[in-house]
Amino acid sequence: MSLNIATASNVTPLPVAAADRPLVRIVIVGHVDHGKSTLIGRLLHETGGIPQQKLDQLKAISARRGMPFEWSFLLDSLQAERDQGITIDTSQIRFRTASRDIVLIDAPGHAEFLRNMITGAAQADAALLLIDAAEGVRDQTRRHGYLLHLLGVKQVAVVVNKMDRVDFAEPVFRAIEAEISAYLADLGVRASAVIPISAREGDGVSERGARTPWYAGPTVLEALDGFEPARAPGDLSLRLPVQAVYKFDDRRIVAGRIETGSLKVGEEIVFQPSGKTAVVKTIESWPVPPAGQERTALRAGAAAAITLDREIFVERGEIISTPASRPHAARRLRVRLFWLADEPLETGTPVIVRLATSEARAHVGTVYQVVDPGHLSTSQENRIGRNQVGEVELVLSRPVAVDPQGVNPRTGRLALEVGGRIAGGGLVISVLDQEAARPAPAARNITPVSSAMTSEERIGRFGHDGAVVWLTGLSGSGKSTLARALERRLFHRGGMATLLDGDTLRAGLNSDLGFSDADRAENNRRLAEVANLLKGLGHIVLVAAVSPSAQARARVRAIVGDRFFEVHVATPLDVCEARDPKGLYAKARAGEIRGFTGVDAPYEAPSAPELVIENDKLDPAAGVDRLEAMLAQAGVFHRPETAVADGAGL
Ligand SMILES: Nc1ncnc2c1ncn2[C@@H]1O[C@H](COP(=O)(O)OS(=O)(=O)O)[C@@H](OP(=O)(O)O)[C@H]1O
Ligand SMILES: Nc1ncnc2c1ncn2[C@@H]1O[C@H](COP(=O)(O)OP(=O)(O)O)[C@@H](O)[C@H]1O
């Protein structure tokens, strides 16, 4: 939306941002009754943003109705014109202070505002927090302060309005000043000023009021003038997300839009997450410029088409940067997001993440916090409902190039999709994995060797794709029994099935690990890495591991990526304990084993597994039928005979 009071009133609109006049976006948060519209009307008037003609017209209307003129009428009248289809947008009002162009972003309601801010539809550099002098700091004021904290708005001026209603009494003001300053400080927000005003009567807005001689701080306009604009995109480090790679003649042209920073011919660049490097050879333009007039540099906002000095394979989704300041190649992100879909977002929910030009499958590893934007209260629930805000760990199926939002707002923002529709938007608060610290293989002088066979050749022989079936459940639930039966059946059909049993790998590769949470997580990680390697070689890998932690399993899922099947072998504890084939439950009950899953260590059942097998109700052959049907349905089998369930060998 773009307010155009000027257009509607035939006055020349303000320039977007004159070179010497920084543009600052501010938001006014506060209850409507606290005088928000009045303050906005007053600010517009005192900065010359309202044509006299418009003012006279409104004053005449007020007089006709026998009402005193109210500044808030102005906004109502602008809104009414908008409703009639005239080009007015009350959500982006512009005016000028001594040295700044100000864009006022409206906050119609918490939910809309949070959504706009978090999804990037609106970005506030600073805020005015409005308090009614007669009411003082209320719950709602605190919620507004919290909202600013949530959005990371660091520059805040507090405006204590309606001072006329408290006879401009200094003690009233000082008490409010002390209370709100302390509250904001607790949230890590410092108020640059706390200003006593009467928006209706004009005190403290553009002129220091004669009725507040005890106040020596800035006026509202001076406070606005002191706000710093966000750093201009051109001043940030180079980020050029690759949109496409074209082949013309023998040349490869890498195309995209420079989001931030600038790019020069002859400069060394890095592609993330692949870590590949090259030097910019040319910047292409159409039509081809005469010799000697080729472009040699581009800045933020420009569409870029470049060629490189060497042949490297790069793809859409990678981000070009300089070697000194590259984005992270990350798989685990802490994200603050706004959720729009009907189905709540919770641990395990699969989503598609879109970040700049990249797209990756992901799921929620952990829900850290849920906030109801209506009350701005945090909830203990670990699911984020429609129109709620939350902080989650997103686990991606592969590394993507990303920056924390505080470092680069363009590459620190993402959209989430479910079922092909936008389901949420978020800000990247931090990068959780070590991908950033771990250089790409090339940088460590490691060149992974690929298999001599193609996946088509393997599918030709085995009749199926590679896949990982991860059986999780209590000790004695029947994981190994099921895995072995499926292994035999697939083998019998000519498939390539490989069993990785937790117990077995603990005898060798994982013999250094015990049963602490950290050791189990590491055990599961190694199993996942091995399973993933074998999957890449076309095997159907059957992993049988207790794997009791949802977070560790989320990591496993991220390591394996596609064709991963989490299967919960859900046998009740009492049944497992009655079976107790290894006598371990008896030992655990006798205190001879500490931290035994189900006895004195937790088992977190999967919230969204691909399959649940109630293994106290089915015989193993029936369980194997269901596993096979799951793989068949997912399209893992390519030859009909590999998919036919005949129970052979069981
Ligand atoms: N404290 C404790 N808790 C759970 N299980 C224990 C423990 N100590 C030994 N065992 C035996 O080890 C097997 C579990 O190993 P895993 O590698 O599958 O476990 S984990 O995924 O790392 O949690 C498990 O095997 P299964 O019975 O086949 O599940 C047990 O036999
Ligand atoms: N579907 C089933 N019905 C009855 N008993 C079963 C079934 N599956 C496994 N069992 C028995 O349960 C016990 C534990 O099975 P096992 O596969 O070793 O479990 P886990 O690998 O999960 O520890 C074994 O004695 C096994 O024979």
| Structure token digits, residue 537 | 């070689």
Instruction: For residue 439, name the pLDDT band (cuts at 50, 70, 90).
Output: low
pLDDT over threshold 50, residue 636: yes
Residues lining ligand 2, CB < 6 A? 473, 475-481, 544, 579, 581, 615, 618-620, 623
Ligand 1, atom 2, lies closest to the CA of: 596
- Beta strands in 480-637, from DSSP E residues, in sequence order: 497-501, 540-544, 564-569, 611-613
Instruction: For residue 91, name the pLDDT band (cuts at 50, 70, 90).
Output: low
| Structure token digits, residue 358 | 């990249």
Task: Tell me: is residue 473 an annotated ligand-binding position.
Answer: yes
Active site residue 274: no
Classify 499 as helix, strand or coil. Answer: strand
Other CB atoms within a 10 A radius of the CB of residue 277 amount to 17
Instruction: For residue 28, name the pLDDT band (cuts at 50, 70, 90).
Output: confident
CA of 541 to the centre of ligand 2 (A): 19
CA of 504 to the centre of ligand 2 (A): 16
Task: Tell me: is residue 237 an annotated ligand-binding position.
Answer: no
Which ligand 2 atom minimizes the distance to the CA of 475? 23
Q: Nearest ligand to the C-alpha of residue 578?
A: 2
Residue, of 446 and 240, whose pLDDT is higher: 240
The predicted pLDDT at position 497 comes to 97
Range with top average pLDDT, 145-159, 234-248, 575-589:
575-589
pLDDT over threshold 70, residue 92: no
The predicted pLDDT at position 354 comes to 93
Ligand 2, atom 14, lies closest to the CA of: 476
Ranges 467-471, 533-537, 555-559, 569-573: which has the least confidence = 555-559
Which ligand 1 atom minimizes the distance to the CA of 506? 17
Whether the CB of 262 sits within 6 Å of ligand 1: no
Ligand 2, atom 6, lies closest to the CA of: 478
pLDDT over threshold 70, residue 184: yes
CA of 408 to the centre of ligand 1 (A): 44
- Beta strands in 74-183, from DSSP E residues, in sequence order: 92-96, 101-105, 126-132, 155-161
Average of pLDDT values for 413-434? 85
Ranges 121-125, 140-144, 408-412: which has the least confidence = 121-125
* Distance separating alpha carbons of residues 218 and 204, to the nearest angstrom: 8
Exposed, middle or buried: residue 238 (CB in 10 Å: 0-12, 13-18, 19+)?
Answer: buried
Q: Nearest ligand to the C-alpha of residue 507?
A: 1
CA of 503 to the centre of ligand 1 (A): 7
Residue, of 446 and 202, whose pLDDT is higher: 202
Q: Which of 412, 288, 420 is nearest to 352 (CA)?
A: 420
- Owner of token pair 């107790």: 580
Which residue in 37, 274, 358, 547 is the catalytic one? 547
The secondary structure of 401-462 as a DSSP string is EE--TTT-TTTSEEEEEETTEEEEEEEEEEE-SSTTTS--GGGGT--PPPPSS-HHHHHHHH
CA of 481 to the centre of ligand 1 (A): 15
Task: Tell me: is residue 536 an annotated ligand-binding position.
Answer: no
Tell me: the pLDDT tens digits for 30-73? 776 778 888 888 888 888 767 677 778 777 777 777 766 676 66
Buried b (16+ CB within 10 A) or exposed e, 43-69: bbbbbebbeeebbeebeeeeeeeeeeb
Whether the CB of 345 sits within 6 Å of ligand 1: no
CA of 477 to the centre of ligand 1 (A): 11
Tell me: the pLDDT tens digits for 262-302? 999 999 999 999 999 999 999 998 778 888 888 899 999 89
CA of 479 to the centre of ligand 2 (A): 7
* Distance separating alpha carbons of residues 269 and 460, to the nearest angstrom: 41
Task: Tell me: is residue 281 an annotated ligand-binding position.
Answer: no
Rounded percentage of the chain residues whose pLDDT exceeds 90: 50
Ligand 2, atom 13, lies closest to the CA of: 476
Ranges 27-31, 226-230, 237-241: which has the least confidence = 27-31
CA of 575 to the centre of ligand 1 (A): 17
Average of pLDDT values for 124-141? 89
| Structure token digits, residue 565 | 């099947």
The predicted pLDDT at position 6 comes to 26
Average pLDDT across the chain, whole number: 84
Mutate to test the pocket of ligand 1, among 471, 475, 575, 585 (most ligand atoms within 8 A of CB): 475
Other CB atoms within a 10 A radius of the CB of residue 235 amount to 11
* Distance separating alpha carbons of residues 163 and 474, to the nearest angstrom: 67
Long-range contacts made by residues 323-328, C-beta under 8 angstroms, separation at least 24?
A: 323/268, 323/269, 323/270, 323/277, 325/237, 325/238, 326/270, 326/272, 326/401, 327/239, 327/272, 327/401, 327/402, 327/403, 327/408, 327/411, 328/272, 328/401, 328/402, 328/403, 328/431, 328/435, 328/436
pLDDT over threshold 70, residue 411: yes
- Angle, nearest 10°, between helix axes 139-151 and 110-119? 10
Which ligand 1 atom minimizes the distance to the CA of 527? 17
Any idea of the CA torsion for 220, 225, 227, 229, to the nearest 10 degrees?
140
Instruction: For residue 380, name the pLDDT band (cuts at 50, 70, 90).
Output: low
Instruction: For residue 437, name the pLDDT band (cuts at 50, 70, 90).
Output: very low
Range with top average pLDDT, 100-104, 452-456, 478-482:
478-482
* Distance separating alpha carbons of residues 381 and 367, to the nearest angstrom: 9
Contact status, residue 270 vs residue 280, Cβ threshold 8 Å? no
The predicted pLDDT at position 483 comes to 97
Q: Which of 135, 124, 121 is nearest to 29 (CA)?
A: 124
Rounded percentage of the chain residues whose pLDDT exceeds 70: 85
Whether the CB of 198 sits within 6 Å of ligand 1: no
Whether the CB of 112 sits within 6 Å of ligand 1: no
Other CB atoms within a 10 A radius of the CB of residue 167 amount to 9
Ligand 1, atom 6, lies closest to the CA of: 596
Contact status, residue 571 vs residue 614, Cβ threshold 8 Å? yes
pLDDT over threshold 70, residue 435: no
Task: Tell me: is residue 478 an annotated ligand-binding position.
Answer: yes
Mutate to test the pocket of ligand 2, among 480, 481, 542 (most ligand atoms within 8 A of CB): 481
Degrees to nearest 5, angle at CA 607 with 606 and 610: 75
Task: Tell me: is residue 476 an annotated ligand-binding position.
Answer: yes
Q: Which of 257, 221, 228 is nearest to 241 (CA)?
A: 257
Residue 144, Cα to own-chain centre: how many angstroms?
Answer: 22
Instruction: For residue 116, name the pLDDT band (cuts at 50, 70, 90).
Output: low
Task: Tell me: is residue 217 an annotated ligand-binding position.
Answer: no
* Distance separating alpha carbons of residues 539 and 495, to the nearest angstrom: 8
Whether the CB of 596 sits within 6 Å of ligand 1: yes
Q: Nearest ligand to the C-alpha of residue 580?
A: 2
Ligand 1, atom 12, lies closest to the CA of: 503
Exposed, middle or buried: residue 349 (CB in 10 Å: 0-12, 13-18, 19+)?
Answer: buried
Ligand 1, atom 26, lies closest to the CA of: 475
The predicted pLDDT at position 511 comes to 93
Which ligand 2 atom minimizes the distance to the CA of 481? 17
Average of pLDDT values for 114-119? 65
Task: Tell me: is residue 30 an annotated ligand-binding position.
Answer: no
Ligand 2, atom 16, lies closest to the CA of: 478
What is the model's pTM?
Answer: 0.52
CA of 468 to the centre of ligand 2 (A): 21
The predicted pLDDT at position 320 comes to 97
Other CB atoms within a 10 A radius of the CB of residue 42 amount to 24
Mutate to test the pocket of ligand 1, among 482, 515, 517, 526 (most ligand atoms within 8 A of CB): 515
The predicted pLDDT at position 593 comes to 94
Contact status, residue 394 vs residue 332, Cβ threshold 8 Å? yes
CA of 600 to the centre of ligand 1 (A): 13
Between strands 413-418 and 190-196, the pairing is: unpaired
Ligand 2, atom 8, lies closest to the CA of: 478
Residue 530 CB partners (closer than 8 Å, separation 6+): 500, 505, 509
DSSP state for residue 58 in the 8-state scheme: H
Ligand 2, atom 9, lies closest to the CA of: 478
Which ligand 1 atom minimizes the distance to the CA of 593? 1
Please give the C-alpha separations between residue 380 and each of 336, 343, 347, 405, in angstroms, as whole numbers.
16, 18, 14, 26
